[in-house]
Chain A
Amino acid sequence: MGFIEALQELRWLVVLHAAAGELGALLFLWVIIELKNRRETGYLRAKWVSFSGFILLFISWFISATYYTRHYGNVVKPVIKGGDFAWVHGVIMETKEHVFIFIPILALLTFLIIASLPDWSTDDKIPRKPVYALSALVIILGFGMVSFGYIISAAARATLGGGV
């Protein structure tokens, strides 16, 4: 099996989607720490770490598109909808797939905002709290998606009789 074929396998798509998304969201914690320190070098790191976070979340989005359109609808959705946990698709997956779209947009916006504030370490008039809040929101929504993904996987496994 070649590399591309292996990547197209269901389990690797899920693993890569989750790993890129979790790491991308976690990078925004690093961003908050660097910004809180208010040092020039920390600001520069925050700028590029936020950009890296956006790229990872964008990759996660791209992978999820492949997984969702090629596998979820054909393989996982019928299993969940045919069992006792049909509500997991109707509520958790439907919410997840649409709220997920917000996250790369928020991550890109956070990078653009940070890049627009070169005087972060010296200017006292900069609106710092909303920048921290936006970074925290990327983390919270990102890990909210992780928990939703866990519920969806658990529902599929439970329906197939594999426990949770």
Chain B
Amino acid sequence: MKNIKVFSISAMASIVAITVFTIIGELAAPFKDALKAMTGHHWISKSILAVVIFLVLGLILKYTAKANNEASGKYIWGVFWTAIIGSIVLLLYFIIHAIA
């Protein structure tokens, strides 16, 4: 059950990071250029960062975080809502960006 907590937290971190990196990249060209410089394409860099954050943070937490079996459902719901909110934020951002 500990895996549920640690990998849910790392999934939330990964989704939030991609959402934030995407919006910052659109607002600040140097940041997007830095992402592009990492792999040759900003999207490839974001994709790799998403996997790295998910796996590395998950493995770090696996050996450092305390188990909380009672709240495992809350962590899964946390990922569910983080993904929905992240998707809506990205959609709204690109709608506003297209209109402005």
Take A127-B72, A130-B77 as given contacts and tell me if A109 and B11 are in contact as well, using a CB distance cutoff of 8 Å.
yes
From B22, B51, B79, B90, contact of A106 by CB (8 A): B79
In whole angstroms, what is the CA distance A116 to B72 when docked? Answer: 11
B82 to chain A, nearest CB (A): 9
Q: Is the CB of A65 within 8 A of B87?
A: no
Q: Is the CB of A112 within 8 A of B7?
A: yes
Q: Is the CB of A95 within 8 A of B73?
A: no
In whole angstroms, what is the CA distance A98 to B50 when docked? Answer: 11
In whole angstroms, what is the CA distance A28 to B34 when docked? Answer: 36
Take A69-B43, A87-B98, A137-B83 as given contacts and tell me if A106 and B11 are in contact as well, using a CB distance cutoff of 8 Å.
yes
Take A109-B11, A116-B1 as given contacts and tell me if A130 and B80 are in contact as well, using a CB distance cutoff of 8 Å.
yes
Question: Is residue A40 within 8 Å, beta carbon to beta carbon, of the partner chain?
Answer: no
- A72-90 interface bits toward B, Cβ cutoff 8 Å, 1 = contact, 0 = none: 0000000000000001001
Q: Is the CB of A113 within 8 A of B87?
A: no
Q: Say which size band chain B's interface belongs to.
A: 35 or more
Q: A-contacting residues of B (Cβ < 8 Å)?
A: 1-4, 7-8, 11, 14-15, 18-19, 22, 40-41, 43-44, 46-47, 50-51, 54, 72-73, 76-77, 79-80, 83-84, 86-87, 90-91, 94-95, 97-98
Can you name 28 A-B pairs with beta carbons within 8 Å? A65-B43, A69-B40, A69-B43, A87-B98, A91-B94, A94-B97, A95-B87, A95-B91, A95-B94, A99-B87, A102-B15, A102-B50, A105-B15, A105-B50, A108-B54, A109-B7, A109-B11, A112-B4, A112-B7, A113-B3, A113-B4, A113-B8, A127-B73, A127-B76, A129-B73, A133-B76, A133-B80, A137-B83
